[in-house]
Structure 1
Amino acid sequence: MREQQNCMEKLVFVTSLTCLMVVGYGIVGFPCILPYFYTGAAPFLVGLRIWLYWGVKWQLFLVDFCYFANLLLYIYLWACPGTEEVFCVVFAVANGPLLFAIITYRNTLAFHSLDRMTSVFIHILPALTTFAIRWYPSTSMPWYTSFASIDLGADDRLPWEWIVAVPFGFYVLHTIMYFTVVYICVKPDEQYWDTYRYMTGSSGGIISKVLNVFGPKYKPVVFVTLSWLYTLMTMLIGVLWFKYFYAHCVFLSIIGLVLIWNGASFYLDVFSEKGLDAEPYRFCVKPSEAK
């Protein structure tokens, strides 16, 4: 069993680095491959995550906003790639809350870990794909139809309603539906984790203290309100990435450095002591056997 586990994680390591090289090549030399790469990678990784998370009772994570944002990008790519309004919405969610989630949730370049690398790809691939579409018109050439081309015009007018208002409304609607279905209708047992329980699980952390400022009764309200403010802030900042090419490049580079730093910290501070026990589960462990 140990040899099989090591073999599978070596395979994940090699695959992760190969995918990283493909994405890097796509960004600097051949951006038209990114929509195709995303089209193949996203359903494969999400499918594996569904299989693994269902076994460890983490399936509520699978209805987080980031998965709906990836679904929205998928719909845009294959249903309406020429629609400017839809592209603006997709760009806003991909380069706003999804990119900032890498910092918030401390995503890590741990190349042997399917779970950690899946989180990285889910959060950064939509941003890289929309980066290619926004700034490299040649991306459209091998696609079945032309992508939306955004021209701000001589007055440099931004489509605020589509780059901020509509995507933020989409996030608000998702939050309301999520809490209504999960915590009012379904009411899952405490052994089922989701983002809300993950973020509020620490009893002595700063986040926990902030959420309890008005007492435990109002903790969900405070959590939702802060998440809305946080998302709106990331979308407003994301307007800079939509408007300025170099600002977009710099921020994506910063996100890359954050991923590298988190990866170095993981391997030197955590993995060096705990080894493969640092993982929440091993890749080849059947979900029914996961603890």
Structure 2
Amino acid sequence: MSSSDEFMEDLNSSGDSYGTVHRRFKDRAQKVAKTKEMLSKQAVQTKEMLSKQAVKIAKQAEEHERFINKVTHLLGVLGFGGFCFLLGARPQDIPYVYCVFYVTFVPLRWIYYRFKKWHYYLLDFCYYANTIFLVDLLLYPKNEKFFMICFSFAEGPLAWALIVWRCSLVFSSVDKIISVLIHLLPGIVFFTIRWWNPATFEAMHPEGTSHRFSWPYVEDKSYLWTWLFVVPLAAYTLWQVLYFLIVNVLRRQRLLRDPEVMTSYRELSKKAQKANNIWWRLSGLLGDQNRLFMYILLQAIFTVATMALTVPIFLSYELHAIFQILKVSASVWNGGSFLLEVLPRQVIVKEKKKSEKQVPPASQNQHDQHSEENGSSGIHQHRSE
């Protein structure tokens, strides 16, 4: 056999092997594509099934709404009373109660908010801060600097949001209870750690002295302002940048396509416009096209002011205790306002909608007969023409 024949055979064999490999890759790509298509179909079917189940559960809950509200109210009052007892009997266990609350109810809230198209609320600063609290309490409980950052978040923007945004403690509403506790509990947790921790509480000065030990103990004011104001403000700025990129850049088209998807800015601007209150007027100082920028600016001013107020609260036990009472009182007061002013109007609207949906059988039959008569006369008229 000549060398040219051997070369041609090698070429043919290499060509066959290349074709075989090419077919294998093609078959594998087709299998991957089919698998992706099958998985996407299964995902769509699962989503539809879960959506139907959620609608079914929501309808059943609506049918038994009064009973569910009574049970929720009972459990809410008992739970609040038990928490108050534990706060006095074993304050060192309050951080663990908070951790159990967070890992239990926040995932459930995500599921509920995802169904209601409110899941972008979980990108708000309060959830960002609460996640940091959880890391501090579980992983770095003895880190003084981390504690001070968390203290600034808890007794700064989160605490004052209870008062400014009028969070309502309504024991018959799970959603309102969780909203209040997300803002209220962290401050109580860090209050107990700073002032009521048995390790420092038992080491108070003897009678006749006006000072008490606390953790962490800080003498240098520059150190105090650094870890209660400057560093927390930097962490807040990081959150604001990330929030803007996610909601207003990466998910912008998604939000524009579906106006039912709610964000904090959408809800606040909608309520402010309806009420035509001071927030709506302030956000429009630079024109309607710059309302988002003004909203971010107003929120930043609010954060700076509330974080600055954490410094005197951190230094004074009396001031800190009064602040806890103020937060709880504001939540309970707002809850009373909701029950006496808002809830009756909501009940009237719901009953009106129910009465409109439920048409009496007699009137329904008369309506059907009237429709049949009109239909038959219309047919006769059409035939005569």
- In structure 2, the partner of 1:111 is 171
Gaps of 5+ in 2: 1-59, 202-213, 351-385
**How do residues 63-142 of structure 1 correspond to structure 2 at under 5 angstroms?**
63-138=123-198
In 2: Cα distance, 1:209 partner to 1:25 partner: 45
**Pair 1:160 & 2:225 matched:** yes
Q: Which of these residues, 283, 308, 331, is aligned with residue 236 of structure 1?
A: 308
Q: Normalising by the residue count of structure 2, what TM-score does the alignment of the two structures yield? A: 0.66
- In structure 2, the partner of 1:285 is none
Cα deviation 1:75-131 (Å, max 9, x = unaligned) = 001110010000000000001000011112211111010111110110001111011
In 2: Cα distance, 1:51 partner to 1:175 partner: 24
In 1: Cα distance, 2:73 partner to 2:182 partner: 17
In 2: Cα distance, 1:277 partner to 1:51 partner: 27
Deviation at 1:228, TM superposition (A): 0.8
- In structure 2, the partner of 1:6 is 66
Deviation at 1:190, TM superposition (A): 2.4
- In structure 1, the partner of 2:286 is 214
In 2: Cα distance, 1:270 partner to 1:215 partner: 32
**Pair 1:151 & 2:223 matched:** no
Partner SS for 1:159: helix
Deviation at 1:139, TM superposition (A): 7.0
Pick closer, same or farther for the CA change 1:157–1:165 going to 2, 3 Å. closer
In 2: Cα distance, 1:178 partner to 1:17 partner: 35
The answer on whether the counterparts of 1:61 and 1:194 sit within 8 Å (CA) in structure 2 is yes
**Pair 1:175 & 2:247 matched:** no
The answer on whether the counterparts of 2:92 and 2:197 sit within 8 Å (CA) in structure 1 is no
Identity %: 28
- In structure 1, the partner of 2:362 is none
The answer on whether the counterparts of 1:9 and 1:113 sit within 8 Å (CA) in structure 2 is yes
State the aligned residue count. Answer: 271
- In structure 1, the partner of 2:41 is none
- In structure 1, the partner of 2:267 is 198
The structure with more helix, counted as a fraction of residues:
2
In 2: Cα distance, 1:276 partner to 1:94 partner: 38
Cα deviation 1:127-155 (Å, max 9, x = unaligned) = 110110011221799xxxxxx931124x6
In 2: Cα distance, 1:273 partner to 1:57 partner: 25
In 2: Cα distance, 1:272 partner to 1:185 partner: 41
Q: Which amino acid aligns with 1:160?
A: W
Partner SS for 1:107: coil
Pick closer, same or farther for the CA change 1:59–1:246 going to 2, 3 Å. same
Q: Which amino acid aligns with 1:100?
A: W
Partner SS for 1:81: coil
Cα deviation 1:5-52 (Å, max 9, x = unaligned) = 333322321221122112222333321121111111112121221111
Question: CA-atom RMSD, angstroms?
Answer: 2.1
The answer on whether the counterparts of 1:133 and 1:139 sit within 8 Å (CA) in structure 2 is no
Pick closer, same or farther for the CA change 1:129–1:140 going to 2, 3 Å. farther
Cα deviation 1:218-244 (Å, max 9, x = unaligned) = 222211111111101001111121110
- In structure 2, the partner of 1:284 is none
The answer on whether the counterparts of 1:31 and 1:139 sit within 8 Å (CA) in structure 2 is no
Pick closer, same or farther for the CA change 1:274–1:190 going to 2, 3 Å. closer
The answer on whether the counterparts of 1:211 and 1:219 sit within 8 Å (CA) in structure 2 is yes
Q: Normalising by the residue count of structure 1, what TM-score does the alignment of the two structures yield? A: 0.87
Greater C-alpha Rg:
2
Partner SS for 1:32: helix
Instruction: Choose 26-35 or 212-221, whichever is displaced more.
Output: 26-35
